[in-house]
Amino acid sequence: MKRAPRESDIYNELSKFMRLKYPTLIWRFDFSAGTKMSIGQARVHKGLNPHRGYPDLFICRPSNGYAGLFIEIKQQGVKVAKLDGSPLANEHLAEQAQIIDQLKREGYYATFACGLMECIEIIEKYLR
């Protein structure tokens, strides 16, 4: 049976998509959350990056009145909010939602996206 794509699989596919469709676009994935670090590396990383919940992808292009696009990427089918839009009672998702709200207040388009296709739809809509 084929496994569901991991977040890192989605990162790879998005990177291929953006290289082909938007070759001059500048972006960055925050891949550090998916890596194993030594205790010393983890301390340095925490000291350099004090905010928990930083989104996975930043697209460095102003568009439609926004300063740039941040996407917190989840696997297809992951629920990030209740039906009323409030965050699920999960500490990690709540931290991510808080950072997304702060980024929105700072003038960025920031959102969650579940799966490759939702990420592509958000990117395409943002860059139009």
pLDDT score recorded for residue 33: 64
What is the per-residue pLDDT for 34? 65
The DSSP secondary structure of 44-97, one letter per residue, reads: HHHHH---TT--SEEE---BTTBS-EEEEEE-TT---B-TTSPBPS-HHHHHHH
At the second CATH level, the architecture of 7-127 is 3-Layer(aba) Sandwich (3.40)
By C-alpha distance, which of 50, 65, 54, 77 is closest to 109?
65
Domain range list for the chain: 7-127
Summarised one tens digit per residue, pLDDT across range 68-115 is 999 999 999 888 877 787 767 688 888 999 999 999 999 999 999 999
Is the separation of the CB atoms in 127 and 120 below 8 Å? Answer: no
Max mean pLDDT among 5-9, 27-31, 87-91, 102-106 falls in 102-106
Q: Note the pLDDT of residue 42.
A: 78
Predicted TM-score (pTM) of this structure:
0.88
